Amino acid sequence: MPRKARIDAPGALHHIIVRGIERRRIFYDDQDRDNFIRRLGDIITDTETFCFAWTLIPNHLHLVLRTGKTSISTVMSRLLTGHAVYYNRRHRRHGQLYQNRFKSILCQEDTYLLELVRYSHLNSMRAKLVKDLKELDKYPYSGHSAIMAKKQRNFQDVEYVLRFFGKKVIAARRAYRRFVNKGITQGRRPDLVGGGLVRSAGGWSALIAMRRDQVRMKGDERILGDGEFTQSVLDLAKERVEQRYRLKAQGYNLDKVTLRVANVLGMEPSQIWAPGKNPKTVKARSLLCYWAVRQLGFSATELSKRLGISQPSVSISVKRGETIAKAERLNLVDD
């Protein structure tokens, strides 16, 4: 059965889980973990992604992220590819590091954000990496220590989380800690790691009760939220997919996008693909990347190979192209 495409959009909240292949380690020691945190911080900052929680376990990791201007797929590709290359080189190993592709569940923020932050951070205690909340407060490989002001993580949006617990930081931090403490006895939470109709409804008993009352919910394994939220996300995703199919049916491929860019900027198509950092060429490439990635669904990896630039450079170009298109009111297809 083919796997479903990821669902994403600017502002979408994701619970991301990455596991080592065959439950093997993806972090061997503190040097691996410190290197990963530096990489995570650089990429989160560079892509303007919002990070609310994170936890590193020897054989897996959890992230709670909100999509910024760069897709979660691109963010995670940069993060995981970079870590795998580093880890394999350092430990003189070869082959796959992760178990399949990373798991990403798009979540209803107002219902699940704080639950996800708490669940993610308590993973360190469930994995017995720390023995109690006092140790977790200072544990450097979980975002909890940043919220408790024991570690400084500039890439983590601590203030956003604390605002849910009060206006004054000190009081909010205490309230947040009490909230985390109450979650210790909950143990593992399957409802927060899988999405789907049953989990979103709160389990089989809740779902049966809803059906008895003739309440219908829409479910999808990629989404954690109520029926209305799930339906709205699926409708938006369907709209985007349909737009891509319409454009492709009209013959829009990379060559046609190149011609469109050349036309609106008044230049030859060959100039767009020419090497170098001529300002006009950079502008054209940025517009090309934006339209190709956002409207036609090309991957940053594919474009990086075609353009002969790095994947991060493509991501930067997409953001720059979006700014150009909006400022100059440029569209791939004339209205």
Binned at pLDDT 50, 70 and 90, residue 314 comes out as confident
All structural domains of the chain with their residue ranges: 13-192, 196-242, 250-328
Q: Would you state the structure tokens that stand for residue 224, as one six-digit string?
A: 């954690």
Q: How far apart are CA 44 and CA 46, in angstroms?
A: 6
Which of these, 69, 97, 85, 71, lies nearest to 16 by C-alpha position? 71
CA quadruple 63, 68, 72, 73: dihedral sign: negative
pLDDT in tens, 214-270: 433 334 444 554 444 445 444 444 445 555 656 666 677 888 888 989 988 998 988
Q: Are 176 and 121 in contact (CB under 8 A)?
A: no
pLDDT of residue 78: 93
68 pLDDT higher than 60: yes
For residue 96, pLDDT beyond 60: yes
Q: Are 200 and 223 in contact (CB under 8 A)?
A: yes
pLDDT at residue 214 in the model: 41
Say how far residue 295 (Cα) sits from the centre of its chain: 19
Q: Which residues contact 289 (CB under 8 A, 6 or more apart)?
A: 303, 307, 314, 317, 318, 321
How far from the centroid of its chain's Cα atoms is residue 200's Cα? 20
- Residue 310, pLDDT > 60, answer yes
Q: Are 331 and 295 in contact (CB under 8 A)?
A: no
CA proximity to 55, closest of 96, 101, 16: 16
β-pair type (50-57, 13-19): unpaired
Locate 130 and state its tokens.
């720390």
Q: Let me know if domain 13-192 sits in CATH 3.30.70.1290.
A: yes
Answer whether residue 210 shows pLDDT above 50.
Answer: no
Q: Enter the tokens of residue 310.
A: 């790095």
Alpha helices in the chain (DSSP H): 30-47, 72-90, 109-126, 133-138, 144-147, 158-162, 169-183, 196-201, 204-212, 227-249, 254-265, 269-273, 279-290, 300-307, 311-328
Highest mean pLDDT among 3-7, 43-47, 205-209: 43-47
Evaluate whether 86 touches 35 at the Cβ level (below 8 Å).
Answer: yes
Do the Cβ atoms of 2 and 93 come closer than 8 Å? Answer: no
The token pair at 137 is 């407060």
The fold adopted by the segment(s) 250-328 is Chromosomal Replication Initiator Protein Dnaa; Chain: A; (1.10.1750)
Q: Please state the rounded mean pLDDT for residues 108-123.
A: 83
Beta-bridge partners for 247: none
Of residues 12 and 85, the one with the higher pLDDT is 85
Could you tell me if 59 and 26 are in contact, meaning their C-beta atoms sit under 8 angstroms apart?
A: yes
Report residue 164 as tokens: 């849910």
Token pair, residue 177, equals 């800690």
Distance CA 79, CA 75 (A): 6
Name, in order, each residue with C-beta under 8 angstroms of 30's C-beta and a sequence gap of 6 or more.
none
**DSSP structure class, residue 11:** T
